[in-house]
Structure 1
Amino acid sequence: MSTVATKPREAPAKTPPAKGRVLKLLATQQLQIVFVLLVIYAIFAIARPETFPTLYNLRGIVVNTSILAVLGAGMTLVIITGGIDLSVGSVLVFSGVIASKTMVAVGGQGWGAAAIGLLVACGCGLGWGLLNGVLIAKLNIPPLIVTLGTLGMALGFSQILTKGVDLRDAPDVLVNNIGFGNVFGQVPWISVIALVVVLVVGVLLHRTRWGLHTYAIGSNAEAGRRVGLKVDRQLIGVYALAGLLAGFAGLLNLVFYQSTTIGGQTQTNLNVIAGVVIGGTSLFGGVGTIFGTIIGLFIPAVLQNGFVILGVQSFWQQVVVGAVLIAAVYADQTRRARALRGGRSRVRFPFLSSRTTPTKEH
C-alpha cells in the first residue's frame, strides 16, 4: 500500500492586528503635524532671527496657548465621540462672569474667595456640559443644534448679568500667583496648570476603560450598545467633562486677562475646533489624541505670533488657519477612503446627529 505525500498546508499570512494599524496611523499623523509645526516655526525664525526664536517669544506663545489647551482637551473627547461643541467660548465667559460676581459677593481677596470662585466656575461649566449631554443623548437633538443653542444662551446670560460690560474683579492672590506667577522664575504657572490638566485628560482617554469606551462610541455607537456599553451615559459624561474644563478655563481666563473678555471670545470655539482637527482628531469620530490636539493648537498660535512680528495683518492668520483646517479634513477623508477601498461605505457626518451611524462594510 503506497502512501501519497501531501503538501503541508501553508499557514495564512498574518495580518497586523487592528490595534497595531491604528497606532501606526496615529503615529504617522502626529509626525506629520509635528513636521508642519517645525516648518512654520523655521520659516518665521529665518525671517526674523533676532526676535522670533527667542526664549521670551516662545514663552509668550506657550502662555497664549495654555487656556486653549484646556478647552482643546475637552473638545478632543467630544469630537472623538463624533459630536461637536460650539458652546465652549460662551461657557468660558459665563463661568468667568459668575465666578467674578461670587468672589466679589463673598468680599474677599484671599485664597478662600479664590477657592469659592474656582468651585463656582467649574460648577457652571459642568452644568452647561450636562445640559448639552442630556439634550443630545436623551432627546436625540443633534449636537450641532444643541451646542449652537447653548452658545447663544450662555453668552446672552453673561451680557444680561453684566449689561455687556466686562467685569474686572479677581482676587489679587490669583492674579499675582496664577495669572502672572512663575515657577522657578521662568515657567508660567498658568502653563503648568494647563499641562497638568492636559496630562490628566490624556491619561483618562488613553489609559482607562472610560477612554476606550469613548473611542468605541465614535467608531460605532450601535455596535457598542449591542455589546453592553451605556452609550447615553458615556455621551453625557463626555459633554459634562468638556463643560467642566470650559468652566475652569473661564477662571484661568479671568485671572490672566483680569477681565471676563465678553467680546473677545467670538472665535474661541472655532479656534479650538480647528486646533483639534488640525491635530489629527477626525470629525467623523473614533480617531484622535490629546498630543495631536496640543500640537494642532500651537500651529495657529505660532502663525499669529509670526504674523505680528512680521508686521502682517492678523486677518491673514484666519485665512491660513482656515485653509489648513480644510486641508486637514480633506486628508482625513482621503485616509478613510483609502482604508475602506474595496468596500462600500457611507460618508458620515455624526456631529449632525445625536448617534453615530454604523458604517456598513462588505
Structure 2
Amino acid sequence: MNSTNAAGFWSYTHRDDLAEGGRLLRLAESVREEYALLTGNDLEIFVDREGIAWGEEWRQRIDQALQSTTFFIPIVTARYLQSVECRRELLRFAGKAESLGVKELFLPIVYAPIRQLDQPEDNDDEIVALVRRTHYQDWRELRLLDENSAAYRAAVHALAGRLVKIADNLQENPPDLPTPEALAEDAWAAQDPGIVDIMVEAEKALPAWAKTIDDLLACMNQLVDVVAPMAARLQESDRAGKGFAGRLALLRKFAGEMDPIAERLMTISNGYAEQVVTINPAILAAIREYEQDSGTSTPEERASFVKVMRELADNMQPAVAGLDELLRNLDGAKGISRDLARPLGKMSKALSSLQDSNGLITQWIIQ
C-alpha cells in the first residue's frame, strides 16, 4: 500500500450537495488537489455512485481486499443515515476493512449536527455507533466557513494530510493480508451475481415497485385532502373570535389526522427506497452489457428491460413532482405548532428519502 495508487470513494447524498450549493463535491476536489500538492501523486476520488466507473472500481477494490490504498469517506448527515444505498456500502466497506486490519481507511466526515451522535443513550443506529467508534472528522462548524478563508483551507489541508499519513503508515507497516490463494477462494465465494441473477431479483421487485408508486400517489392525494381545507378552517375560527386557543385546537385536530398519513408515507418511502436499491444493479448491469456487448443477454432482452424501466420511471414522476417545494413548505410549517411538528417531521423525512431515490432513477435515465 502506498500513496502512488491511492483512491477514495466519496459517499454522500445528492440532496445534501444540492442543499449546500455543490460544496460537498468542491470539498472532494479540494482534498484531491491538496493531496497531490503534498505528495506529488494523484488521489483518484470517485464521487458518482450511480456512474459505471464507481461500480466497477468498487467491486474490484473490495474484491481485491483493499490491497491498494483505498479510502472510503462518507459525508455523514441526517439524510445520509436515511439512505439505504449509503448505509449498505458504508457497512460493507467498514466490515471488510476491519476484517483485514485496515480500518483506518474508513474515514467518516460528520458534516452536520446529528442528534443521535451526541445522545448515545437514545440511539440504536448501527451506523451512528460505528461512526462514534471511529476517529471521524468533525466538519459541523467548518462547513459554515467561507471556502476561501484561511481556517477552511487549513481544515482541507489537515484532512488531506491525514490521508497522506495513513497511506504512508500502511506503506511502512503493511497489514497481513490474505494470500493470493485465499483471496481467489474468497472472491469466488463472494462473487457478485451475474446479469441473469440480477435480472431475476429485479423482476421480483418490479411488481412491488409498481404497487408502491400507486400507494404513494394515493397517500399524497390523501394528504392533499387533509391539508387543503386547513387554511379555510383556521380563517373561519378566527372570524368566530376563537383566538389562538381555537387555532391550537384545530391544529391539534389536523395533527391527529395527518399523523397516520405520515406513518403510512414513511412506510411507503422506506419500501420504495429498498426496491430502488434492489433494481439499481440490474440497471447498471444492463448499461455495462451495452458498453461491453458481452453476449450474456440478447439486444432484444436488454431493450425490453430498459423500456420497462423507463416506463416505471415515467410513472413515478407525478408522485415526486414538486418535492422540493413541498419539503420547503413542510420545514417552514414545523414551527407553527408543537403538535404539527411531529407529523410534519415524519413527512419531511419520508419525502427526503423519496427525493434521494428519485435522484437515482434520474441517473438511470441519463445513463
Q: Per residue, is there more strand in 1 or in 2? A: 2
Q: Which structure is higher in RCO with an 8 Å CA cutoff and minimum separation 6? A: 1
Normalization by structure 2: what TM-score? 0.23
